[in-house]
Amino acid sequence: MKQLKISNNVIRRLPRYLRALEELKAEGADRVSSSSLGEKMGLTSSQIRQDFSCFGEFGQQGYGYNVKDLSTEIASILGTDRGFSLVVVGVGNIGRALIESFCFAQYGFELAAAFDIREELVGKVINGVEVKNVYDYKQVLEGKKIDAAVLSVPKRLANEAANAIADLGIKAIWNFTNVELSIENPNVIVEDIHFSDSLLTMSYYLAESIDINDSDSNKQEKM
């Protein structure tokens, strides 16, 4: 266990590396250098070598990196071979969309169960997963090791549900509620997918680009 404290920036680049490498693999490439990978991804070769060196020595001087080996390494660093499992809590539109079409298995996660509080949903089978009543969690999860939960309940239930999940001993929450969760247990890992934050960020850049273009055309008019 060396690698003391890898920065969040580095971690968030790892899935992108993996994606780029899978693409190279699909194209039939055997090897890739830090500079060609950098060009593909819009990063400097320096940064790529720095990033990889946090985890080990995966390259070879004069050759570069073996695409297949490197992607295996990165997938392993990300934990895709750990056999993690998760449950979906809240089978609304987003929950159902994830159950129906997100490929959890591709990223090493097993979807073990889905819960909702609404009687009319309980018993429905979505993509092979039966929706269970949230109050039956004990018998449903009996003897199962669950690592994470997808949280996709309505905003007003978000914190209550998050804390209930934490109390179950589940270690991570993939949060789709657009709410900043307040979880009492500080060890619970929260990974947010804030649609609203993302849309507002896009909105900012959109507004900015319009302002820039306007001031450009003002300049033109003055000519």
Applying CB under 7 A, which residues contact DNA? 7-10, 33-35, 43-47, 49-50, 52-53, 57-65
- Quick note: the x/- pattern for a second copy over 35-54, rule CB under 8 A, is ------x-------------
Length of the chain: 223
**Which of these segments, 60-68, 86-94, 117-125, 135-143, binds a second copy (CB under 8 A)?**
86-94
- Cβ nearer to DNA, comparing 12 with 156: 12
Is the torsion defined by CA of 21, 107, 118, 135 positive or negative?
A: negative
Angle, alpha carbons 28-29-30 (nearest 5°):
115
CA 105 – CA 110 distance, rounded (Å) = 6
Q: Which does 52 bind (CB under 5 to 8 A by kind): DNA, a second copy, none?
A: DNA
Is 56 a residue that touches a second copy (CB under 8 A)?
A: no
Q: Could you tell me the smallest distance in angstroms from the CB atom of residue 209 to DNA?
A: 19
Q: Could you tell me the smallest distance in angstroms from the CB atom of residue 64 to DNA?
A: 4
- DSSP, residue by residue, 103-148: -GGGGTEEEEEEEES-TTTTT-EETTEEEEEGGGHHHHHTT----E
